[in-house]
Amino acid sequence: MSTTTEKLQKVLARAGMGSRREMEAAIADGRVKVNGQVASLGDRIEARDKVALDDRPVALRAAEEVPRRVIMYNKPEGELCTRKDPEGRRTVFDRLPRLKGERWIAIGRLDINTSGLLLFTTDGELANQLMHPSTQVEREYAVRVMGDVQQAQVTAMVEGVMLDDGPARFTDVQEFGGEGINTWFHVVITEGRNREVRRLWESQGLTVSRLKRVRYGNIFLDKRAKASEWVELSQEEVDDLAELAGVPSRKVPELTPDEKNRWSRDKHKRRPVQAMRKPRSRRS
């Protein structure tokens, strides 16, 4: 970390404590202390400052010291994008490889009924840049829609409609066929607002019966990761994401022998029987 001051939430995210948004919430909740004093949103710190999250010291690091690892996870329906669920339901973090002294940070979210591509990284700055609205990173979804879709409805969603939380639009809509009243489309958005894809179709009186994210930026969901499985991205893929986010490229660290063994065990450990059941499909 340089001798200049930096925003507290940025430093915490870079240290792998969570996304910048999560760290802003932690600061607002009074969970962060700087030099023994409860921090406030807007605080800036230097390398010499002592920072604690939930009364646990945080090791501050310069940007170039943060290991940048990225994994792709194929989320099934029925999993939550949260670290812990009070009701004991499965979360996307349950199947990820364990880290020592770091945390996986989710790049975006998917709701419980949406499946597909999720990216996780150890680099909070990379995560923040890829999620920030100003970066305009494309997210592509495969969507099964119930109803008779008219061209006027597609045109309206591309030109833009007003939702409860502001205007929204698809930058692209392509039809992929289907059977009966169900038709598959691929759509692209450049935001990560809550249920935005579903709400855009609902604005036209249409219902989304299946939703799967198939691309985030330049990373496509592929056969390397089946449902409930993850795969570590290559140096080239991570560098492509860094270029898209506008952050410097950095070498992906080699796994230590201990990490290789631990990650291998995590990848092949058996899931609880109840977690292997497929979620019930909705009736048309």
SS3 278: coil
How far is Cα 61 from Cα 40, in angstroms, rounded to an integer? 21
Going by pLDDT thresholds of 50, 70 and 90, the confidence category of residue 259 is confident
Query: Token pair for residue 201?
Result: 């179709």
Question: Hey, do 6-62 and 138-216 end up sharing a CATH topology, with the first three levels equal?
Answer: no
Give the CATH number of domain 70-133+219-271: 3.30.2350.10
Active site residues: 111
Give the residue among 29, 23, 22, 66 at the shortest CA–CA distance from 45. 23
Buried b (16+ CB within 10 A) or exposed e, 243-267: ebbebeebebeeeeeebeebbeeee
pLDDT digits (tens, 9 = 90+) for 178-231: 777 889 999 999 988 899 999 999 999 999 999 999 999 999 999 999 999 999
Query: Token pair for residue 135?
Result: 């970066």
Residue 269 has pLDDT above 90, yes or no: no
Q: 0.75 cut: is pTM over it?
A: yes
- The ranges assigned to domains in the chain are 6-62, 70-133+219-271, 138-216
pLDDT digits (tens, 9 = 90+) for 101-143: 778 999 999 999 999 999 999 988 899 899 998 999 999 999 9
Give the CATH number of domain 138-216: 3.30.2350.10
Q: Does domain 6-62 have CATH number 3.10.290.10?
A: yes
